[in-house]
Amino acid sequence: MAAELIRASLLSFSAPPAEGVAEAVQHTEDGVLAMRDGRIEFAASSAAFVAQGGPLDACEDLRPGIALPGFIDAHVHFPQVDIIGSFGTQLLDWLERYAFPAETAFADADFAAAQAERFMDLCFAHGTTSALVFTTVHAAATEALFRAALGRGARLIAGKVHADRNVPKELADSADAVAGCARLIERWHGAGRLSYAVTPRFAIASSPAQLSAAGALLQRYPEVLLHTHLSENAAEIALTRKLFPAARDYVDVYDCHGLVGERSVFAHGVHLTERELERLAERGATVVFCPSSNLFLGSGLLDVAKLQRHGVRLAVGSDVGAGTSLSMLKTLADGYRVGQLQGTSWHPLDAFHAITLGNAQALALGDRIGRLAPGYEADVVVLNARRNPALSRRLERVDTLQERLFAYMMLGDERDIERTYVGGRLAWRQAGAN
Ligand SMILES: [Zn+2]
């Protein structure tokens, strides 16, 4: 297959910029990206491309666009995209009033299939090429999402949701249903670029028997992820303590059932205690910072610096539909605000590392996605601010890469996603783009 060649400003990371590793930030103002057979074949300066005999005039010129690794959303709910921005509640009431009714509709397999296709389109339009996704309790809806992602050649991780108490009966399964997911794992984990995540909704919604079944499933399939919620909201934590009186704390509820390990991904973690942070760090588990959701539901401000001091692995997620946008740029803007309220300013280089290589590593995919480097899978987003007047004007006044990225981080949104490539193929372009 002929290579797809684009010329743009290239930005990628090989390590967290804050750690001061040499070459952590790889930026080329005038670069060429060659994609062939789903992978990146070349990513360096146009001068280097010409020097090795590359045909510069065969490149599609997307300058002054910035090409980055496709964004990765480490926590998002696909059945909730139509309830973004629902008024007036905090977590537990929001679930009852908005999320549960929305998810109940996914019992209709045709509806779920249409929504799955739409969700994938929306992700690409927002520059997101990979995500760790909550589906619903319905196996058919989960399979619909896998099918939609497979059809697009996307790298996606998802799993059927488990809940056997404290949810409407239409959204409940059973402890036995967890073991039944072996069928889904065997069918979808490793199909195309898909992976499976065992997905109990949260401690409140699962009996001890169901959490034990989830732990047993992870033992049987150690290569799959565990994806759930943790320590998001005060009322949720209080109810969890009541339901699991023998557990030391919220982390211990999951720990006692074999659910805390290096492939465990916990959304939120806003109110974790010192002991919980130590335990998560010791086990190598990941906490997903979901700033948009935490602000919208009033859940609290995650102290990212404190988690970093404890050595807890971090990822970043939109948490749509409690988060208010699928845009990882807008998610970063909210993350910056959460930091500011606690006296820290999230450096834009670290922020863009977080939604590319950082999230890839948190999802155990750091050797495949998250970088513009030869051999990596060719998931790429190209940013261009021409449809965003406020950002365009701001960019006229910036001098450094840091300032430019910060402008995108604070003023950017889906209008600025000029192109999205998935597995080396054009998956989204702005109408009217060149
Ligand atoms: Zn969530």
CATH number of the domain where residue 30 is located: 2.30.40.10
Q: Is residue 348 part of a domain?
A: no
pLDDT at 19: 85
Domains in the chain, number: 2
**Which string of DSSP letters, residue by residue, matches 157-224?**
EEE-EE--SSS-GGG---HHHHHHTHHHHHHHTTSTTEEEEEEE--GGGS-HHHHHHHHHHHHH-TTS
Query: CA 240 to CA 233: how far, in whole Å?
Result: 11
pLDDT at 433: 55
pLDDT at 431: 83
CA of 161 to the centre of ligand 1 (A): 11
- Identify the domain boundary among 291, 326, 361: 326
CA of 363 to the centre of ligand 1 (A): 16
pLDDT at 307: 98
**Could you report the per-residue pLDDT of 51-70, keeping only the tens digit for each?**
999 999 999 999 999 999 99
Q: Is the pLDDT of residue 18 over 70?
A: yes
Indicate whether 314 and 403 sit together in one domain. no
Q: Is residue 382 part of a domain?
A: yes
Indicate whether 234 and 295 sit together in one domain. yes
Indicate whether 60 and 106 sit together in one domain. no
Q: Is residue 162 part of a domain?
A: yes
Residue partners of 110: CB distance under 8 A and separation at least 6 = none
Indicate the pLDDT class of residue 236, thresholds 50, 70 and 90. Answer: very high
pLDDT at 2: 80
CA of 348 to the centre of ligand 1 (A): 25
**Could you report the per-residue pLDDT of 338-356, keeping only the tens digit for each?**
999 999 999 999 999 999 9
- Identify the domain boundary among 326, 343, 361: 326
CA of 391 to the centre of ligand 1 (A): 30
pLDDT at 22: 82
- Please provide the average confidence, as pLDDT, over all residues in the chain: 97
Tell me what the mean pLDDT of segment 259-283 comes to: 98
CATH number reported for the structural domain that contains residue 112 in this entry: 3.20.20.140
Q: Is residue 321 part of a domain?
A: yes
- Identify the domain boundary among 295, 326, 357: 326
Structure tokens at 405: 């990225």
Q: Is residue 147 part of a domain?
A: yes
Compare 20 and 48 and report the one with higher pLDDT: 48
CA of 299 to the centre of ligand 1 (A): 12
**Could you report the per-residue pLDDT of 290-332, keeping only the tens digit for each?**
999 999 999 999 999 999 999 999 999 999 999 999 999 999 9
Indicate whether 17 and 53 sit together in one domain. yes
pLDDT at 434: 52
Indicate whether 28 and 154 sit together in one domain. no
pLDDT at 264: 98
pLDDT at 14: 97
Indicate whether 41 and 171 sit together in one domain. no
What angle, rounded to 10 degrees, do the helices at 139-151 and 109-125 form?
A: 40
What angle, rounded to 10 degrees, do the helices at 401-411 and 328-340 form?
A: 100
Which residues make beta-bridge pairs with 60? 6
- Rounded CA Rg of the chain: 21
CA of 76 to the centre of ligand 1 (A): 6
Indicate whether 233 and 295 sit together in one domain. yes
CA of 293 to the centre of ligand 1 (A): 8
Indicate whether 312 and 268 sit together in one domain. yes
**Could you report the per-residue pLDDT of 110-168, keeping only the tens digit for each?**
999 999 999 999 999 999 999 999 999 999 999 999 999 999 999 999 999 999 999 99
CA of 319 to the centre of ligand 1 (A): 5
Q: Is residue 87 within 8 Å of residue 117, measured between CB atoms?
A: no
Indicate whether 46 and 91 sit together in one domain. no
CA of 164 to the centre of ligand 1 (A): 18
**Could you report the per-residue pLDDT of 375-396, keeping only the tens digit for each?**
999 999 999 999 999 999 999 9
Q: What is the pTM assigned to this prediction? A: 0.98
- Per the structure, the complete domain to which residue 374 belongs is given by 4-70+370-429
Q: Is residue 352 part of a domain?
A: no
Indicate whether 190 and 232 sit together in one domain. yes
pLDDT at 59: 98
β-pairing, 417-422 vs 380-383, is: antiparallel
Indicate whether 200 and 235 sit together in one domain. yes
CA of 80 to the centre of ligand 1 (A): 10
Indicate the pLDDT class of residue 92, thresholds 50, 70 and 90. Answer: very high
Q: Is residue 238 part of a domain?
A: yes
Indicate whether 62 and 77 sit together in one domain. no
pLDDT at 293: 98
Structure tokens at 373: 């480097």
Tell me what the mean pLDDT of segment 227-239 comes to: 98
CA of 179 to the centre of ligand 1 (A): 23
CA of 84 to the centre of ligand 1 (A): 12
CA of 433 to the centre of ligand 1 (A): 34
Sheet (strand 380-383) strand order: 39-45, 25-36, 4-13, 60-69, 380-383, 417-422, 425-429
**Could you report the per-residue pLDDT of 396-431, keeping only the tens digit for each?**
999 999 999 999 999 999 999 999 999 999 999 998
CA of 289 to the centre of ligand 1 (A): 11
Q: Is residue 350 part of a domain?
A: no
